[in-house]
Each structure stands twice: as C-alpha cells, then as structure tokens.
Amino acid sequence: MTNKQGPQTAEAIPHRERIVNDLSMVVATVNGSGSQTSNTALIRAIFRMGIPVSGKNLFPSNIQGMPTWFTIRASSEGFTARRETVEVLVAMNIATFEEDLSGLVEGGVCFYPDHFSAPETRPDVVFYPMPVRSVIKQVNPPRELRDYMVNMVYVGVVAQMLGIDLQEIRGALETHFRGREKPVQLNMQVVGASASWARENLQELDPYVLERDSQTEGMILIDGNTAAALGAIYGGVTFAAWYPITPASSLAEALQTYLPQLRKDPETGKATYAIVQSEDELAAIGMAIGAGWAGARAMTSTSGPGLSLMAEFSGLAYFAEVPVVVWDVQRMGPSTGLPTRTSQGDVLFVRFLGHGDTSQVMLIPGNIEECFEFGWRAFDLADRLQTPIFVLSDLDLGMNMWMSRPFQYPSEPIDRGKILSAEQLEQVQEFARYRDVDGDGIPYRTLPGTDHPKAAYFTRGSGHDDRAEYSERPEDYEGIMQRIARKMETARALLPKAVIERMKGAEIGLIAYGSTDSAVREARARLLDAGVKTNYLRLRAIPFGPEVKDFISQHERVYVIEMNTDGQMRMLLQLEVPEHATRLHSLTHNNGLPVSARWITERVLEAEEV
C-alpha cells in the first residue's frame, strides 16, 4: 500500500500544459486540529493576488477528531460555486487519505506529510511529501501552539508549489490576527521555512499555477452570516434574541462581535442595542416580537428546527401585525437530519408558517451583497408592513467564504412605518389600531409609552375588530382577513424585484434563488458552450412581483432549480400562475452538498434532450 518508489521524477510524469488560475483544492484535516487559520490564510492570499476564489467548509456534526474538508476554488472565469472535480489535495488526515485520493482528477496533485505512507492506488497523481515534523522541530514554536503550526507547513509548501505570493500569505495572516504582529511572525516563520524547503527539495511536476490577476480589486471576502449581521447593524437593529444552532449561530455571534464596536453611545459608552441569548427559539422569537411591538428594530436568527418552535409566534405576529425580522439559515431535516449540510428545504414551511391562513413575507438573498442589503432592508419592510419578515439564507451562503463587491451603505433613510406620535394622536378624531385609513391595507400603530390617553390598544390574536377589541363577529374576522390580504398586495410592490438576465434567442427559462445563483450562472455559460441559450430569473422575495408571471409566460419550458427534494418553490410558482403550471419543471438537488454547475448543466441538457 505504501509509496516506496521515493520521489517522483519528471520522466515518470507526462508533461502537460500549464493550467492557470483554475483549480479546486481540498484540504482534508481532522476536526478541531486548528486548520482554520491555515485555510483562511490560503484563500485570502489567493484572493489578494486578484484571483476570484471561494471557500467552503464541508464538516460533519462533530467537535473534534473527525474528518473535515475545506475546499478552495480559484476560477479565472469568476465562478465560485462548488465544483465537483478536485485538482489539488492536501491530505492531512491519514484516516481519509485513500478515500480523499480517489476523489482527485486524473493527473491531480497531492500534498501529504512525509510521515504518512501515501497509498499506491493513484500512480497518475503528482505527490509532494512535506517535512512537517522536521520544520516544526526547526522552528520550535511553543508547545501549546505546535498543533496549529503543523497546519502552517502545508500553507508554505502549497504556496511555493502553486505560486502563491508569501507576502500575500503574510497580509492574510495580518487580517486574520487583526494586526497582532507576534502570531503573524510565528506563523510566517513556519510558512517561510516550509516554502524554502519546498523550493530546494521539490521538483515542479504538476501543471497547476496561480498567477496574479486583477479581478478582486476593491472586492471583499466574507461569509454571508457576517454580512447579514453587519446589514442588520446598519439597519438599526436595537434588539436581537437567539438560541445557538448550526448554521445560524455565527450570525448572532457576528452581532455580538460588531455591535459593541459600532453601536455604543459615544458619550456614555452605553449600548444602543440589547442582545439576549434565550432559553430556546420559542423564547427568542417571543422576545423579538415583544420588542418589535414596543418599538424596537427586533430580530432573531435560526435554522429549521428553531423555526419549527417559532411557528405559533410567527402566526401571532402575522395576525397581531407586529414587525419582526427572522433570519432562517437553512440546513437539512429535523433532529440529526444533517445539521451541518446545506439545503433550501424551508421554503414552503416558512411561506405558510402559522395556523389559520398565514402567507408570510420572505426575502431571499442570493449573494453576500444581498445578505447585507436585506439585513437592513428587512427592518424597513417589517416596520412598513407591520408583519414578520423572514430572510431565507442557507448554510452554504451563510457559513462559507464568498467573494463580493463591497457593501453599499444603505441607500434610503430608516423607515419606521406608520407610527402615530402623541402630537399626531391629538389631531385624529379616533385611533383605531387595525383600521385601513390609507387603503393600502396597512393600519397605524402606536408604541407603548406614547403619552396620550388615546394611544393605548390591546394586542391579541386574529379575533379582533378594527379598534383591537376582542370580537367573534363573523364580519369582523372577515374584515381583518381581507385587509391583511390587501396589505400583502401592497407588499408585492415594496419587495425587491426578481433579477432577470437574458440571452438573445433563448427559448428556455431558468428560475433559481438564494445560494444556487453562482452555480446557475456558471451552468448558463456551460450550456451556452453546448449551444443551449437560457434566460434566467432569480427570485428575491415572496409574494412575487408581476415580473415573475411575465417571465414564466414568455417561455415554453422553465426549469426551477432548487436544493430540496419536492420542488417547493416550483409548487409556489404553480400556485401563482396556475394557467402556466405545466411549463414549470423541477430540477431538484438535495444531498447536503451545494449544487454544482455541472449538475445543473447535465440535468438541463438531459431534459432538453441535447
């Protein structure tokens, strides 16, 4: 089983054309071994060289000792979705070495610690052994940091062999350690020693090269959950409650990191926000709704299991018309249903969350910029529409590293919606909390604490008249339901429109949403290579705007691409345009991994019988 042939030579490996800035690299490590710093340094260094890049952490639900994989994709074409092929393997986990190796493309590259025995199963692969132990011995870092430093060896060797600039590794480490020089220096010692060793001892036998480009200038590299939290902070979040859950925790944790930096009163140093880690998700949304009712810009963030606990409160907020923002960073099924794997399986559940005719308003960011933008816009919409706003992200978008244009500062002032002050109450004859004064279905509200005898009203579930008095009169109930339906028509016009991209002469349509956007874009390019032109509509909100129906009516066949098994969005679209229901075809991918462009391309070609 072991590679006893010694170092490979140039003669043994056929010469190949150089492949520049186009590779997918997998770093296989043991969970909890501290590889995050190394992987972040690699990806950020490539990014800083101007090469479009993305990073995905494929991890099982464990804390320590189990295999985990970090994937870095560099793409000169700018595609950042998961790629199914792996060209470069950094095999740091002996337990999965053989399996990892079997996933490499023909003629791929494998870096491995020289104290591992490389399997002999892949004679086509270029092997680069790395002297992990001797480098660590030479640098001699403090004992407690040794495990982390082991991972820096592959950073140095990989950088040397693929052409990553060591100065950019240093810059990436400076970002990672927020300018603390000591850890940067220590890590760079290991990186430098490893790179020198590789320069002197390894012969370049593989075709993969990373070369400086200029495609990331001004861009940022960040995960969607951090972007969402920052968006919320610039949207004026004043209250957040949450309960820990993968893959949503890092959103609330980013709030905890950045709120103290950005939202302290400059004079008193006191907080202009409150954040509470609650006893469960039920309490998290209850607190957010209580805060929203009392006038806060209130939010919570969760994933599927937490959302299940939030069902009753979501319905209450819908009927009591309380503004609140709920981020759902989607994962797969209940309980141990792949908690660390991505999915778009909550679409139908969220849309109808609550009992008794709820049609919740949803925003669906498709990239980092939109995570930030919908982060602030969701509060304006919640306040304007006086209803819960659900923002559907997913594990892939939320927890993985994406390249993005920088965030745009909010383009509109904060909108608090229809709130009557004491002065305004003085001027109105009567304040009726649930009366449609303006004909848009949106009533006026007052905040608790408004100093006017007319201000108070009593909030309760759906059984109330337009003065918020308890009522079981049939006409009152119907009146409330009809007005909320009008309000939802108003919502259509206020929500972000779908994004449509066309190709001249295209006959088929693709509809997608959320994190699949990057894979769909790449698939469209590959389909075009195969002679199939496509128009593409990316949904960004529900209820849908009129452009969605128009798009469907313009195409004989529309493929709805999504990461769930049942084609949940396709069903919602069929409800929206029953007259065109048969034009809509599902392409569903639901195995825990982000969908790839290759998968989409193949499925469309299959369906189109090309």
Partner 1 sequence: MATQTETKPAHPGNGNLIGLRKSDYRGGKSTLCQGCGHSSIASQIIAASYEMSITPERIIKLSGIGCSSKSPAYFLNRSHGFNGLHGRMPTIATGAIMANHGLKAIGVSGDGDTASIGLSHFIHLVRRNVPMTYIVENNGVYGLTKGQFSATADKGQELKSAGINPFMPVDICMEALIANAGFVARSFAGDPKQVKELLKAALSYDGTAVLDIISPCVTFNNRDESTKSYAWARAHQEPLHDVTWVPKREEIQVEYDPGDRIDVEMHDGSLLVLKKLEQDYDPTDRMAALKMLAETSCGGYLVTGLIYIEDNRPTLTEIENLVEEPLSVLNEGKIRPPRETLEALIQTFQ
Provide the minimum distance between the beta carbon of 188 and partner 1 in the complex, in angstroms, as a whole number: 19
In the window 372-431, what residues touch partner 1 (CB under 8 A)?
406-407, 409-410, 413-414
Could you write out the DSSP letters of every residue in 149-218? HHHHHHHHHHHHHHT--HHHHHHHHHHHTTT-HHHHHHHHHHHHHHHHHHHHH------EE----STTTT
CB nearer to partner 1: pick between 276 and 571: 276
Longest dimension (CA), the chain: 93
Provide the minimum distance between the beta carbon of 402 and partner 1 in the complex, in angstroms, as a whole number: 11
Identify which of 231, 600, 589 has the alpha carbon closest to the alpha carbon of residue 404.
231
Provide the minimum distance between the beta carbon of 234 and partner 1 in the complex, in angstroms, as a whole number: 6
CB nearer to partner 1: pick between 116 and 258: 258
In the window 318-347, what residues touch partner 1 (CB under 8 A)?
320
For strands 534-539 and 508-513, give the pairing.
parallel
User: Which of 12, 271, 428, 485 touches partner 1 by CB under 8 A?
Assistant: 271
The site map against partner 1 for 343-382 (x = CB under 8 A) is ----------------------------------------
User: Which of 175, 215, 424, 591 touches partner 1 by CB under 8 A?
Assistant: 175
Sequence-separated (6 or more) residues with CB below 8 Å from residue 170: 184, 188
Copy the structure tokens of residue 127.
């092997």
CB nearer to partner 1: pick between 26 and 240: 240
CB nearer to partner 1: pick between 14 and 458: 458
In the window 54-83, what residues touch partner 1 (CB under 8 A)?
none
Q: Interacting stretch for partner 1, rule CB under 8 A, among 83-91, 341-349, 446-454, 497-505?
A: 446-454
In the window 456-485, what residues touch partner 1 (CB under 8 A)?
456-461, 469-470
Give, in order, the Cα–Cα distances in Å from 66 to each of 34, 59, 60, 308, 594. Answer: 13, 9, 8, 29, 21
Provide the minimum distance between the beta carbon of 493 and partner 1 in the complex, in angstroms, as a whole number: 24
Identify which of 437, 443, 370 has the alpha carbon closest to the alpha carbon of residue 408.
370
For strands 208-209 and 298-302, give the pairing.
unpaired
Run of H or E residues at 74: strand 67-75
Does residue 291 contact residue 276 with C-beta atoms inside 8 Å? no
Provide the minimum distance between the beta carbon of 517 and partner 1 in the complex, in angstroms, as a whole number: 20
CB nearer to partner 1: pick between 65 and 458: 458
User: Which of 22, 253, 312, 566 touches partner 1 by CB under 8 A?
Assistant: 312
Does residue 550 contact residue 373 with C-beta atoms inside 8 Å? no
User: Which of 105, 145, 209, 276 touches partner 1 by CB under 8 A?
Assistant: 276
The site map against partner 1 for 230-269 (x = CB under 8 A) is x--xxxxxxx-x----------------x---xx-x--x-
Provide the minimum distance between the beta carbon of 235 and partner 1 in the complex, in angstroms, as a whole number: 7
Question: How many C-beta atoms surround the C-beta of residue 19 within 10 A?
Answer: 14
User: Which of 451, 472, 529, 579 touches partner 1 by CB under 8 A?
Assistant: 451
User: Which of 29, 96, 189, 446 touches partner 1 by CB under 8 A?
Assistant: 446
What is d(CA 63, CA 2) in angstroms, rounded to the nearest whole number?
A: 31
CB nearer to partner 1: pick between 135 and 307: 307
In the window 277-296, what residues touch partner 1 (CB under 8 A)?
278-280, 282-296
Does residue 361 contact residue 391 with C-beta atoms inside 8 Å? no
CB nearer to partner 1: pick between 205 and 325: 325
Q: Name the phi and psi angles at 199, rounded to 5.
A: -60, -40
For strands 541-542 and 499-501, give the pairing.
unpaired
Provide the minimum distance between the beta carbon of 413 and partner 1 in the complex, in angstroms, as a whole number: 6
What is d(CA 436, CA 466) in angstroms, rounded to the nearest whole number?
A: 8
CB nearer to partner 1: pick between 297 and 331: 297
**Residue 409, Cβ density class (10 Å: 0-12 exposed, 13-18 middle, ≥19 buried):** exposed
- If one asks whether residue 220 binds partner 1 (CB under 8 A), the answer comes out as yes
